[in-house]
Structure 1
Amino acid sequence: MGGHHHADVLVDPARRRRANLILWILLAPVGVLAFVATLVLWPSGGINAQLLDNPFGTAEGVELSTGVVTRAESETCPSTEGLDEVGGKELPCEVSYVSPDAGGASFALEVPPETTQSRPLKPGDRIKYLDLSHSTTTSSAPYVFVDFVRTVPLALLGILYAVVVCLVARWRGLRALAGLGGGLFFIVTFMIPALLEGKSPMLVGLTSATVIMFAALYFAHGFSARTSTALLGTLFGLLVTAAIAGWATDAAALTGATDDSALTLSTVVPELSLSGLLLCGLLIAGMGVLNDVTITQSSAVWQLAEIAPHSTARQLFASGMRIGRDHIASTVYTIAFAYTGAALPILVLVSLYDRPLVDTLTTGQMAEEVIRILVGSIGLVLAIPVTTAIAVAVVKATGSGKQAKPSGRRAMPGTQDPGAELSGSVHYEDTVQANL
């Protein structure tokens, strides 16, 4: 039996152009405003900050060198050798023998106990160490362990990530990686210098997030009504996140001065607001999560429209929100667990204090983590119904709602080909991808 073929469902050229025009009328002013804000806030290069010394900088006669561990033994610490002869006591410790990359004889290197407890040195490890053997300074050991050399494993992991993304997502995955690189470049060249110059963290954060989202979404997903819909939902979520984050940081009196890095920044960059830096971080963190849910929700509405192109707007929105609620449920605890994992050392430390749980959670350091979770989750949850509603409106605006004339043999009265809807959706998907 022949089926109905939906050749002209949701592809009315006039209505499609009108829907795209409405989207661009909404998005163009935001894009222009973000571009102008970027020009106004662009760093002038006059950073009034005290430059910090290289953390691996060395004194005169001291060299930072690299080498390869050849073997590890438990023996007398080099720093305590000979103490028995002067009334002291020699102590055992983990000693690694290192072959210098620059050549020369292997030497014994005393490894700090905090390193051996978590990750003992093993043969084949490449490390950094300070060579004090030619220094005029007095030291109990001629060589001091600094850190591991992690270049190779990090590079391999990065390459593996890029390969997996490109194999699974193909050309779109490659474009997404390029968009990620561009976003990080914009953060380094615009956002960080602008913050260091004392520009408004709220404006810098919103401008950076908006520019990155415009560039990344269109570059990775192409210029289409689907992408524009997701972008509108993302921008709405960013505004909500910014508003709530601004209120929360002030109402909870978050100072941002909760760790050594923040205190160092307050010293070397007095113009930098640590609470503002925290606010900017909330926006950038929320940007990635919002992008994920809005793109997924927009695509879900389009897929639903492909399966049932003659659904009413209310039916399409209800179906989209059923998917959205599942997305909300999964993403909310995804955000919570992600931040909890990042703050796990803090959680372990505060659990050791003999104090009530409420007092622990309301300390500055813990309150920052809690507010990150709550602010990001609120923006995400509110962005889903808005994105769904926009996607439904655009889908219905681009479609004629008419059904094409039957093709092939006529269907018998009271019957319908079960493959009709899928047949129409396949044709529709090809046409939408080519035209939206």
Structure 2
Amino acid sequence: MAVLAVIVPVAIATLLAMALMWPDKPRSAASERLTEVTGTILAIELKPCPKAAPGIPGQEAPPADPARCGDARVELTSGGEKGRGVTAPLPSGPGTQTFKAGDDVILIEVTDAPDGIPYQLSDHQRSNALWIIGAAFALAVVAFGRWRGVTALVGLAITFVLLLQFLIPAILAGSPPLLAAIVCAAAIMLVVLYLTHGFSMTTSIAVVGTIASLALTGLLATAALDLAHLSGLTDESALNLDLSSGINGQGLLLAAIIIGALGVLDDVTVTQAYTVNELAQANPSYRFRQLYKAAARVGRAHIASVINTIILAYAGASLPLLLLLSVSQQPLGDVLTAPAIATEIVRSVAGTLGLIAAVPITTALASLALTRADDEPAETPHEHVDVDAFA
């Protein structure tokens, strides 16, 4: 009953908040949408590359890639001129892709082009490849997880719907990013955890543990950002959103921390809740203290590996920035205190502290609930949820 006393008000508050915050039409900056069409490259005609522009003072500009200089003959496969063959110059700027005959591509239709070239090569058309990759992922999940794998895929779809149809439009419509993220995270947690793991006391304990840990993560992240005087405007995307749509950068960063932490928190809380349940079934004589100590040992091992996972994930996402700072040969102290790196440090620390707190919170809740359930005279002794009932 104590668990339901927490979950029911949270669920009602989440539904009310989503109903009030659901945007009718997101606010967006006025911009002219480019017309895109698809096509297939028939042939590539390479040409001599123009002389490279001067690079960084004191450094010689890298030579242009000969495979990126020339024109592509493309047959359009969509748009008003479908079936027509057109010529488009190969993009030759830094970081552009290399194209070859037979590639499916995306072109931008340029109206009133000053150079008289109506189409520009933009990108590879990779929808078919992504469908194949997605199908392979879904088959692997279902083959291994069976019915639980199916529910996990449905939960993943619901997560994407809530992120794309509620969180992002709500932020663009002017809702506070942190509040929108909290509401979205609560909705994802309630729907996905119960859908994936079933309605049981063990899942409910995991939900309560996630709520408490997520709230602590948000408080720690807010305090850390204020203490470090970080605005959240560390990249071009956040700056553009602040200038064009007036979206608070710090609030957006807090929202990102909340959503990112949820993805790992539910893993930790579910694992701990089910670990306590399994220990209680395997050792019916265990009381609260014994259950807590045994499950906490599992939790410590889990957290040790998850912490390394989080740090490596953030380091991988920031690798280009780390390389750029390394090339600039700045002192280590200046690198660590730069806004971009300091933001990632705060993001990692806040998320990690939330994860660490999730283990004792969820373990204590599960141990207390299971030992109290065993003490109820009206119930069959050691009657627990079968964790494989939904497999």
Q: Shorter-normalised TM-score: what interval?
A: 0.7 to 0.9
In 2, Cα distance between the equivalents of 1:320 and 1:256?
37
The alpha-carbon distance between structure 1 residues 52 and 108, as it changes in their structure 2 partners (threshold 3 A), is closer
Could you say which structure has the larger radius of gyration?
1
Pick from 52, 62, 67 the counterpart of residue 31 of structure 2: 52
Pick from 373, 391, 408 the counterpart of residue 366 of structure 2: 391
One-letter amino acid of the structure 1 residue matched with residue 129 of structure 2: P
One-letter amino acid of the structure 2 residue matched with residue 76 of structure 1: P
In 1, Cα distance between the equivalents of 2:174 and 2:313?
30
In 2, Cα distance between the equivalents of 1:267 and 1:175?
41
In 1, Cα distance between the equivalents of 2:228 and 2:117?
49
The alpha-carbon distance between structure 1 residues 24 and 136, as it changes in their structure 2 partners (threshold 3 A), is closer
Is residue 182 of structure 1 aligned with residue 126 of structure 2?
Answer: no
Where does residue 7 of structure 1 map in the other structure? Answer: none
How much does 1:197 deviate?
A: 3.0
Is residue 120 of structure 1 aligned with residue 98 of structure 2?
Answer: yes
| Runs (5+) with no aligned partner, structure 1 | 1-20, 59-63, 81-90, 403-423
Is residue 323 of structure 1 aligned with residue 302 of structure 2?
Answer: no
Greater RCO (Cα-Cα under 8 Å, separation 6 or more) = 1
One-letter amino acid of the structure 1 residue matched with residue 291 of structure 2: L
Where does residue 211 of structure 1 map in the other structure? Answer: 187
1:217-296 matched pairs, under 5 angstroms:
217-270=193-246, 272-296=247-271
How much does 1:142 deviate?
A: 6.4
Is residue 103 of structure 1 aligned with residue 83 of structure 2?
Answer: yes
In 2, Cα distance between the equivalents of 1:187 and 1:42?
12
Identical counterparts, % of pairs: 34
How much does 1:278 deviate?
A: 0.8
One-letter amino acid of the structure 1 residue matched with residue 105 of structure 2: I
Quick check: 2:88–2:121 contact (8 Å CA) kept in 1?
Answer: no
Quick check: 1:93–1:110 contact (8 Å CA) kept in 2?
Answer: no
- Which stretch shows the higher mean deviation, 320-329 or 356-365? 356-365
Is residue 42 of structure 1 aligned with residue 22 of structure 2?
Answer: yes
One-letter amino acid of the structure 1 residue matched with residue 260 of structure 2: A
The alpha-carbon distance between structure 1 residues 97 and 191, as it changes in their structure 2 partners (threshold 3 A), is closer
Is residue 345 of structure 1 aligned with residue 320 of structure 2?
Answer: yes
In 2, Cα distance between the equivalents of 1:432 and 1:92?
57
Where does residue 67 of structure 1 map in the other structure? Answer: 39
How much does 1:269 deviate?
A: 1.0
Quick check: 1:304–1:316 contact (8 Å CA) kept in 2?
Answer: yes
| TM superposition score normalised by structure 1 | 0.77
- 1:300-333 CA deviation, whole Å, 9 max, x = no partner? 1112222222222212111101110100100001
CA-based RMSD of the aligned residues comes to 2.9
Is residue 137 of structure 1 aligned with residue 113 of structure 2?
Answer: yes
| TM superposition score normalised by structure 2 | 0.85
Where does residue 76 of structure 1 map in the other structure? Answer: 48
Where does residue 135 of structure 2 map in the other structure? Answer: 159
Quick check: 2:202–2:385 contact (8 Å CA) kept in 1?
Answer: no
One-letter amino acid of the structure 2 residue matched with residue 224 of structure 1: S
Quick check: 1:218–1:227 contact (8 Å CA) kept in 2?
Answer: yes
The alpha-carbon distance between structure 1 residues 216 and 68, as it changes in their structure 2 partners (threshold 3 A), is same
Is residue 23 of structure 1 aligned with residue 8 of structure 2?
Answer: no
- SS in structure 1 at match of 2:285: coil
How much does 1:115 deviate?
A: 4.6
One-letter amino acid of the structure 2 residue matched with residue 66 of structure 1: T
- 1:220-256 CA deviation, whole Å, 9 max, x = no partner? 1111001001101100111101101111122212212
How much does 1:141 deviate?
A: 6.0
- SS in structure 1 at match of 2:120: strand
Quick check: 2:257–2:347 contact (8 Å CA) kept in 1?
Answer: yes
Pick from 168, 186, 192 the counterpart of residue 192 of structure 1: 168
Quick check: 1:69–1:96 contact (8 Å CA) kept in 2?
Answer: no
One-letter amino acid of the structure 2 residue matched with residue 121 of structure 1: F
| Runs (5+) with no aligned partner, structure 2 | 52-63
- SS in structure 1 at match of 2:138: helix
How much does 1:113 deviate?
A: 5.0
The alpha-carbon distance between structure 1 residues 171 and 213, as it changes in their structure 2 partners (threshold 3 A), is same
Where does residue 147 of structure 1 map in the other structure? Answer: 123
The alpha-carbon distance between structure 1 residues 97 and 190, as it changes in their structure 2 partners (threshold 3 A), is closer
In 2, Cα distance between the equivalents of 1:395 and 1:92?
66
Pick from 66, 73, 87 the counterpart of residue 93 of structure 1: 66
